[in-house]
Amino acid sequence: MPNRLLVAGPNSKFQQPGAEPAGFWVGLWHGIIMPLAFIVSLFNPDVGIYETNNNGGWYNFGFVIGQAEVVP
């Protein structure tokens, strides 16, 4: 079952068979929640900080913008 908080990792909805890759908005969200997701990932292997099934440049751009909003 995919996680409900849209965190990256092996249980993300983007890792399910036939799932669309994560895009800009998901990258933005993952960038914003990255500090918290990192801490949780140290204790829970089902949580990641970066979605591997992504659409490339747009996901990366959203991730970087999300990080810039959190860590100036």
pLDDT in tens, 18-46: 989 999 999 999 999 999 999 999 998 88
Residue with tokens 């990366």: 60
Could you give the residue ranges of the DSSP H alpha helices within the chain?
A: 24-41, 57-70
> What is the rounded CA–CA span in Å between residue 51 and residue 59?
9
Report how far Cα 70 is from the mean position of its chain's Cα atoms.
Answer: 15
- Domain presence at residue 3: no
Question: Whose CA is closest to 22, among 55, 58, 71, 69?
Answer: 55
User: Is the pTM for the entire model greater than 0.75?
Assistant: yes
- Domain presence at residue 2: no
Domain count, the chain: 1
Domain that includes residue 48, residue range: 13-70
